[in-house]
Structures are given as structure tokens and as C-alpha cells.
Amino acid sequence: MAGWKACATAVVSECAPVSSRLPLGRPHSFAVRVSIRNLTKRFGPAWALERISLEIESQELFFLLGPSGCGKTTLLRTLAGFYQPDSGELFFGDKPVNGVPPHQRNTGMVFQNYALWPHLTVADNVAYGLEVRKVSTAERMRRVAEALAIVQMEPFADRTPNQLSGGQQQRVALARALVIQPDVLLLDEPLSNLDAKLRLEMREEIRRIHAQTKITTIYVTHDQKEALSLAHRMAVLRDGHIEQLGTPRAVYRHPVNRFVADFIGETNWLSATVRGCDGGEMTVETDGGVFVAATELSKSPGEKVWLGFRPEAVEIGTDSVNALDTRIAHVSYLGEIEQYRLAMPSGALVKAFEQNPRELRQVGAPLRVHVRPQNCLVLPE
Ligand code: ATP
């Protein structure tokens, strides 16, 4: 019920005069830059957000990613105006919005549970925000049709939400947020109620809709694949602060610490001792042997570090560097990949993924693998 009320508030948020607006399907000239400066939010003694600073570019598809309780939803709700920050400043473009009530921020919000009016048709759900804003009937009909066309739900305009699938309901929720032509679109785990296949389809839909509308979009999720596949940039949050900010590629390939590396994917970690550093390469000694890693990190011989590599970076076959003699401890065939757990002579296990597996390998068989230096991570211990 609370989510529903919040949604209604967002939907009816204030909008610039209709005549000054571009049709939805064209790049949205009203998309704004969002500036978050030193934002702090507490619930009682607990910090939900601790001095968060972020610049989200106009027309960016930006992700807030992190485990449960890290503060993602609190940040999104603070942007929408449902929560007041304890300190810090928020700007939409050049306009400070700290004191601006939710219905005047011109944000559109989409919730995990769709939050559609059950007794209204699809068209009436989408039209609701425009009616409240007293947009003329002709204009309302035009904009509802346009928003439904963007989410490809025109044929369902006369149905009620209980006559729609979960994915269709989420499309309606998106149309309802888009129809008000928001400056900023806020998506709170919009796909988490959908099954795996539908989630993949809706990911593509969101990418397409963003490319079409170019609305500055802030998307909250704990699903790293969703963020990696869609985000222009992302912030990884933990305990109310930002651990890392960057493009999906940068965050995945160059995580700043083990938390980010492990949250954004799987990593094998070996405790290592530095032997030497030379010209962007570090040689380290591990239980599994000597490794050479491409890294900008500079450490002195004898210092302890973590050597990491992703399971997909483990290649079957020999190579002159970073070779590991292992024995297969566990095999799991998943069609497009085969997942292995490989035991090193020390007994420690490493995970390896083989793409397009063709060979049947038995548990207990020896397997020589290697990891290229450019696929190794080195982090301070
Ligand atoms: P999830 O993925 O589980 O939704 P989240 O990252 O969105 O998590 P938030 O909902 O923002 O996390 O919560 C951040 C912290 O603030 C948590 O410790 C949570 O318990 C606390 N919190 C959130 N809302 C309230 C509230 N209304 N009252 C008290 N504490 C709250």
C-alpha cells in the first residue's frame, strides 16, 4: 500500500507545460544531470547513507548496485523526495531540490511490485498522472498512446492489470512513469519479480526504451548481470558508502578491493608474496607456484598481496607462464559452459569455466591450466 501511494505521488509529479515538451519517443531534451553532494541519511542511530557524492550525467543510464541493506533504495527514495537527507545537497541540473516535495521533482518511478491500480484499465493507469495534472483529453490520449507504443503495450490498452503477465504489468508501470515525461527516471529493482527468461527480455526492452527516450535513468539492483549488461556507469555500494564508481568493464576488470571483485563476479584468490615488480608486471609466489601479473600496483619484495583471477580467465592447456597442475575435483555441465573445481597440489580449490565444452572430463583426471598475466588481479592484503 505504501509503495502504491508513493507511486501515485511520483506519477502525478509536476511537469513543464505540455506544449514545451518533446514527444516521448524522441531524445528527451529535458533529461538533467543529477548531482549528489555529501549526502547523509540516518534512521535513528544507524547510517543508511554516509557522505555520498555522485555526478550522474544527463541522459545517462546509471546503476546503483550492492548487497541488501547497502543503502540503494534509501538513495533512490531520497532522490525522489520521499526521504529527507540529514545533510548534503541534491541538484537536478542547476536546480537545488532538497526542499522540493516529491510531486514537484518531475521524477518518474517504477517499483519492483509494479504498483498498478487494479481497478483501472492499462490506458487509465497510464493516463492517471496526466488527468491529475489536468492535461487536455486529446493531449492525454495522444501521450498515453505514445507511451504504450514505446513499451509495446498498445494492444492491451483496455485490459486490467490482473489480465496481464508480470512482464506486461512492468511495461505498463514503465509507460506510466514515462508518460509524464520525467526529467529523471528512477527504477527500483524493476525486474526482480520476473522469471529469469523474462528478466533477460525486459533488460533489452529497458535498453531500447532508454536509447529511444534518453531520459536520465537511475536504476537500483542487486543483480550484477543486470548492471553489467545495461549500465553506462555504476556505483557499487556497501554499508551506505560508495566502494567503486565506473563503467561495467572497468569495475569488472579492475575492482578496487575484494568486496567489489566478489560482489560483481566470482574470483579465485590466492595468498601471495611479492618477489619483484618490473615495468607494470609483478612476480608473486603462491601455494600454486610463481605467477606473473600485469598490474600498476607497486610493492616491495616480501610484501603480502592477494592474487586473484576470474574462473573464465582460467584456460585449459599449457603456457610458459602462470601454469597450474591441477586435478579435477568437481565438474558441472551447464550447456554453454562447463564449471570445474580444480584441486591444486596444495589442496586449495580454484574455479574454472570452459566455454563451449566439447570434451568429457572425469573427476580425478589431471588438468593443466594457465592464466594470462593480463587476466590476473593483484590487491593489497
Ligand atoms: P535491499 O536490496 O534489501 O532493498 P537496500 O540496499 O535498498 O537493500 P536500504 O533499503 O536503502 O537498502 O536500507 C539501508 C539501511 O537502512 C538498512 O540497514 C535498512 O535496515 C535501513 N533502513 C531503510 N529504511 C529504513 C527505515 N524506514 N527505518 C529504519 N531503517 C531503515
Whether 320 shows a pLDDT value over 50: the answer reads yes
Fold for the domain defined by 4-258:
Rossmann fold (3.40.50)
Q: The domain at 266-380 falls in which architecture?
A: Beta Barrel (2.40)
Amino acid at 242: I
Pocket test for ligand 1, best of 65, 73, 224 (most atoms within 8 A of CB): 73
- Which three cell numbers mark 116? 498498478
Distance in Å, CA 73 to ligand 1 centroid: 7
For the chain, the structural domain boundaries read: 4-258, 266-380
Per the DSSP assignment, residues forming a β-bridge with 40 are 87
Dihedral pair phi/psi, residue 70, rounded to 5°: -80, -15
pLDDT tens column, 2-51: 333 333 333 333 333 333 344 555 445 567 999 999 999 999 888 999 99
Please tell me if the CB atom of residue 76 comes closer than 6 angstroms to any atom of ligand 1. Answer: no
The atom of ligand 1 lying closest to the CA of 74 is: 11
Distance in Å, CA 260 to ligand 1 centroid: 20
pLDDT at position 133 is 84
* Nearest-angstrom CA–CA distance, 135 and 176: 14
pLDDT tens column, 75-90: 999 999 999 999 999 9
Among 120, 185, 173, smallest CA distance to 148 is for 173
pLDDT tens column, 270-309: 999 999 998 899 999 998 899 999 999 999 999 999 999 9
Please tell me if the CB atom of residue 66 comes closer than 6 angstroms to any atom of ligand 1. Answer: yes
State the SS3 of 220-233. Answer: EECCHHHHHHHCCE
The answer to whether domain 4-258 and domain 266-380 are alike in fold is no
Supply the residue whose CA is at minimum distance from atom 20 of ligand 1: 69
- 336 and 355 in contact (C-beta within 8 Å)? yes
Per the DSSP assignment, residues forming a β-bridge with 349 are 343
Supply the residue whose CA is at minimum distance from atom 14 of ligand 1: 71
Distance in Å, CA 301 to ligand 1 centroid: 44
